[in-house]
Amino acid sequence: MAEKQRELQKLVDLLTSTIVSFKYLSNCVFRFILNSDTFELKNKPKLSMKFFLAFLFLLSMLLPVKAQELIIGSELVKPGIRVIFEGAIKDDVTPSNLHLEESKTDVHLEARVNWASDESIMVPKGAPRGGFVAYLTITAEVTNERTGEKSAGINIVPHINLIDNFHYARNIKLPGNRDDRYTVIFTVTPPKGSELALHKDWRDNHSKALFKEVTFTYKSVDFEEIANASRR
């Protein structure tokens, strides 16, 4: 049951992304329902769930699907903040003097940080479910697992587009070949006292900070498909 709940959460996270890769989604669906024996359509005979999902999975692998986003990881940070780390396709970002040119970029590294939209997850009173959580400091470190070459101190800064709306991101050049595997470490730091004032009701019910600084590590991240893709 716990395993199915974890797989269900993966599906919820993927469905919140409007441009998620169909291949990745079908794989998650396949893993989630594989242990179910049968399902029944209204006024139709029972069909083998495993047979149906196997057919869907094989069909999706034959379709020429263009990579859209790589879900690196999804985390829940108290009090009710959903953080989804992604590798997205490189893009043209301005101001150009502060951001790496699209032609020199391998990956658009992203962090989507929102109050949890899942009703089963408690969020603070007044927090808009799905709303962007602002004023955070997010940094990343990308290490080539083959050579040990490292890109450290990557600042993931606020962006806005017509797909994710407000999010944190940065165009980056990978420290090595696109087909290498990478370890990616994200550190998420709450706003300082000078950046966010806390009312007494927040301090009484939660803490003297928005949350405690957290670090997440992901190994063997494969950026190749995303790095070779283009938005145009």
Map residue 218 onto helix, strand or coil. Answer: strand
Mean pLDDT of the chain: 82
Q: Name the residue with higher pLDDT: 63 or 119.
A: 119
In contact, 39 and 61? CB cutoff 8 Å: no
Q: Name the residue with higher pLDDT: 129 or 14.
A: 129
Q: Among 16-20, 159-163, 185-189, where is mean pLDDT lowest? A: 16-20
What are the structural domains of the chain?
Answer: 67-227 (2.60.40.2480)
> Quick check: 32 pLDDT over 70?
no
Q: Among 54-58, 70-74, 87-91, 212-216, where is mean pLDDT lowest? A: 54-58
> Quick check: 11 pLDDT over 60?
no
Residue 213 is predicted with a pLDDT of 96
Q: Name the residue with higher pLDDT: 23 or 9.
A: 9
Interval 188-207 mean pLDDT: 93
Residue 96 is predicted with a pLDDT of 93
Q: How far apart are CA 84 and CA 77, in angstroms?
A: 11
Give the pTM. 0.72
Instruction: Report the range out of 18-27, 38-47, 49-58, 82-91 with the highest average pLDDT.
Output: 82-91
Side chain identity at 149, as an amino acid letter? E
Map residue 161 onto helix, strand or coil. Answer: coil
Q: How many Cβ atoms are within 10 Å of 33's Cβ, its own excluded? A: 18
Residue 52 — pLDDT band, cuts 50, 70, 90?
Answer: low
Residue 190 — pLDDT band, cuts 50, 70, 90?
Answer: very high
Q: What pLDDT digit, counting tens, does each position of 143-186 carry?
A: 999 999 999 999 999 999 999 999 999 999 999 999 999 999 99
